[in-house]
Structure 1
Amino acid sequence: MTAAPAPDGALPAPDVVGASARVRLDEVIHAPVRLSIVAALAATDEAEFGAVRDAVEVSDSALSKHASALEQAGYVAVRKGYVGKRPRTWLKLTPPGRDALAAHLAALRRIAGDV
């Protein structure tokens, strides 16, 4: 919704609440795939790589790339191991990752307002 121009034709100043909320968006998890990954991990303690890949509907290489970025930010912990003789990778949302997701979602809610 755009505010009506003032009588002199000038538009009103941007919504300060919305602008300040945008500043709080986390650029690391704002990307749609990364946001989907952290949201999927928030619903569980730990998830196998393949389960996250299927839930987020991305390729192995795309998930690996995004998981690495999230791990570098400290938002996701990656654990490697074996099930029988097969190598497996598990992903877990860290406490800072949970905090970042909560803050990011709060900022989105502030931007969206009553939409």
Structure 2
Amino acid sequence: MTLGDSRAKLDDLVHSPVRFTIMAALSTVDDATYQVLKEELAVSYALLSKHAAILEEHELIEIKKSFLGKKPQTVFRLTRKGRKAFKEHVTALEEILKGLV
């Protein structure tokens, strides 16, 4: 397999730094709140919302909104499709990192 073959396996939807980081964070947990992701990723509410909406639109994450007492709470989780897409993207990156072996 060539580096070009591996590059072709990269998922443009996942490849964005913010979306990749969202998916990486969610790949290690069952779910995470909006506030936790915002703080861990060190992004604005607007940027997190924009990229999360793109991932949700493509069914890579699920966003659930509810209330905790009187406070709204938003929780994110990777879907099965999202976990698969993230794993395939990481595998392609690992293949590229091998270089000209």
Is the 2:3–2:99 Cα contact (8 Å) retained in structure 1?
A: no
List gaps (5 residues or longer) in structure 2. Answer: none
Give the secondary structure class of the aligned counterpart of 2:77: strand
Displacement of 1:17 in angstroms is: 1.3
Task: Give CA deviations for 1:2-39 in whole Å, capped at 9, x if unaligned.
Answer: xxxxxxxxxxxxxx610011111000110111100000
User: Which runs of structure 1 show a deviation greater than 3 angstroms over 4 or more consecutive aligned residues?
Assistant: none
Task: Supply the AA of the counterpart residue of 2:68.
Answer: V
- Aligned match for 2:87, one of 87, 102, 106: 102
Match of 2:18 in 1: 33
Task: Supply the AA of the counterpart residue of 1:64.
Answer: S
List gaps (5 residues or longer) in structure 1. Answer: 1-15
Structure number with the bigger relative contact order (C-alpha 8 A, sep ≥ 6) is 2
Task: Supply the AA of the counterpart residue of 2:82.
Answer: G
User: Alignment identity in percent?
Assistant: 36
TM-score normalized with structure 2 length: 0.95
Query: Aligned residue pairs: how many?
Result: 100
Which is helix-richer, 1 or 2?
2
- Compute the RMSD of aligned alpha carbons: 1.3
Give the secondary structure class of the aligned counterpart of 2:29: coil
Is the 2:65–2:74 Cα contact (8 Å) retained in structure 1?
A: yes
TM-score normalized with structure 1 length: 0.83
Structure 2 residue 43 is the aligned partner of structure 1 residue 21:
no
